[in-house]
Amino acid sequence: MGAYRYMQELWRKKQSDVMRFLLRVRCWQYRQLSNLHRAPRPTRPDKARRLGYKAKQGGYFPMDLMLTAHHRC
């Protein structure tokens, strides 16, 4: 099984220990950043590749983080 297939399977099983840990760490990491920042790479590279993403120098992904009272990371 290739790396992208493995990542796709992880995202399907969101209640697995690996995904729960990964989402918890990412949520904490995003809270430390400003509301609008540049992400160095896509958060889901497998899906980004399916949608046509190619890693090129100089590209960036703007991330707008809006947290409300009822929606946490």
Kindly give the interhelix angle for 3-12 and 17-32, rounded to the nearest 10 degrees: 90
| Bridge partners, residue 61, by sequence | 39
What's residue 21's pLDDT? 92
Asked if 19 and 10 count as a contact pair (C-beta separation under 8 A), the reply is yes
The per-residue pLDDT for 34 is 77
| Per-residue model confidence as pLDDT tens for the chain (73 residues) | 688 888 888 888 888 898 899 889 988 888 887 777 777 778 788 888 888 888 777 666 666 666 554 555 5
Domains and CATH numbers, the chain: 1-72 (3.40.1120.10)
User: What amino acid occupies position 11?
Assistant: W
